[in-house]
């Protein structure tokens, strides 16, 4: 069997570079390109050296460990033992994920049991498995796994960021108490221009059981004219007229728009084990669904979670 050292070297150089790059991305570190290239080259040279029987000593576990320590040191340097160990652990986790993914895809693509048995070798009562993976197969599968890994990590970071900004909202309105989940949005700087009262947004569906159907129906349909008309024309709106406000704002297209808002008796917000409450707040109505996955039903003004 012929082994092309140049192909093996380039393949290992690519894989080691990608793993080191992913390690830096996970750890939030941007290594210098020359350091990354040098570390990947050392890893690729080590793989080539292992092809020579006379260098069998390089198979030793501690030699492999030393090479990985050296690659991490060259790529990211040494600032503290804690930081260095985190870099090293991230490097190994990513390596194991990619290796495990390659094996998993390899066996998943097998179409018959004959292919499985063809990869098994029986020697002296022991069973050994052999892999037969082409360079193209490994590159394609690795790129696929890297893509999935990056998307998974981004999704996890986004979810973690959202979890840090989720709150428990308790609204007190006309003797009614409404509970829902809120999201603190630092980009929400909506105030009533006349009273400088902060405005938080809530899905109209959360208040549908206490507000008149004529109002909630108009807001769900996005018919602002009908909603404004219902405030003065329908008798069932009489008890709400003193609470309703019309708040002007600019949309994303910079056009002036209007939002109906409600003056509550009290708003309580629990955020990161702290409870904030305020009576100086307006609740703006949104006729749709604020979160596609339903994780929150209100957008909390950032000024409401400040002592």
Tell me the β-bridge partners of 94. Answer: none
Query: For residue 170, with 0-12 CB atoms within 10 Å meaning exposed, 13-18 middle and 19 or more buried, which class applies?
Result: middle
DSSP code, position 293? T
Q: Give the C-alpha separation, 49 to 227, whole Å.
A: 77
Residues 6+ apart with CB under 8 A from 149: 22, 94, 97, 98
DSSP code, position 207? G
How are beta strands 256-262 and 282-286 bridged, if at all?
antiparallel
Cα dist from 98 to 73, 143, 280, whole Å: 22, 10, 54
Q: Give the C-alpha separation, 17 to 43, whole Å.
A: 9
What string of DSSP letters covers 49-84? Answer: HTTSGGGGGGGSHHHHHHHHHHHHHHHH--S-HHHH
Q: Give the C-alpha separation, 29 to 293, whole Å.
A: 32
What are the residue numbers of the active site?
185
Residue 228 structure tokens: 């404004």
Query: For residue 11, with 0-12 CB atoms within 10 Å meaning exposed, 13-18 middle and 19 or more buried, which class applies?
Result: middle
């Amino acid at each position: 069997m012929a082994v092309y050292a140049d192909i093996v070297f380039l393949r290992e150089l690519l894989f080691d570079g990608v793993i080191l790059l992913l390690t830096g991305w996970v750890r939030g570190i941007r290594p210098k390109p020359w350091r990354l290239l040098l570390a990947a080259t050392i890893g690729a040279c080590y793989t080539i050296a292992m092809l020579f029987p006379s260098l069998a000593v390089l198979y030793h576990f501690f030699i492999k460990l030393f090479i990985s320590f050296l690659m991490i040191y060259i790529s990211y340097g040494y600032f503290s033992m804690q930081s260095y160990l985190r870099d090293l652990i991230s490097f190994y986790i990513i390596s194991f994920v990619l290796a495990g993914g390659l094996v998993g895809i390899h066996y998943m693509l097998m179409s018959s049991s004959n292919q499985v048995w063809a990869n098994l070798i029986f020697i002296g009562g022991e069973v050994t498995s052999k892999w037969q993976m082409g360079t193209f197969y490994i590159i394609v599968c690795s790129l696929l796994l890297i893509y999935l890994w990056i998307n998974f990590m981004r999704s996890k970071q986004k979810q973690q960021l959202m979890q840090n900004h989720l709150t428990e909202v308790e609204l007190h309105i006309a003797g009614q108490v409404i509970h829902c989940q809120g999201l603190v949005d630092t980009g929400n700087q909506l105030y009533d221009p006349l009273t400088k009262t902060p405005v938080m947004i809530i899905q109209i569906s959360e208040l549908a059981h206490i507000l008149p159907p004529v109002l909630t129906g108009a807001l769900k349909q996005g018919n602002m004219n009908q909603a404004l008309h219902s405030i003065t024309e329908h008798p069932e709106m009489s008890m709400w007229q003193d609470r309703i406000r019309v708040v002007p704002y600019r949309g994303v297209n910079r056009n002036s728009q209007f939002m109906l808002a409600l003056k509550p008796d009290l708003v309580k917000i629990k955020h990161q084990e702290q409870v904030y409450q305020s009576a100086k707040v307006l609740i703006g109505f949104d006729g749709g669904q604020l979160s596609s996955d339903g994780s929150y039903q209100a957008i909390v003004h950032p000024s409401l979670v400040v002592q």
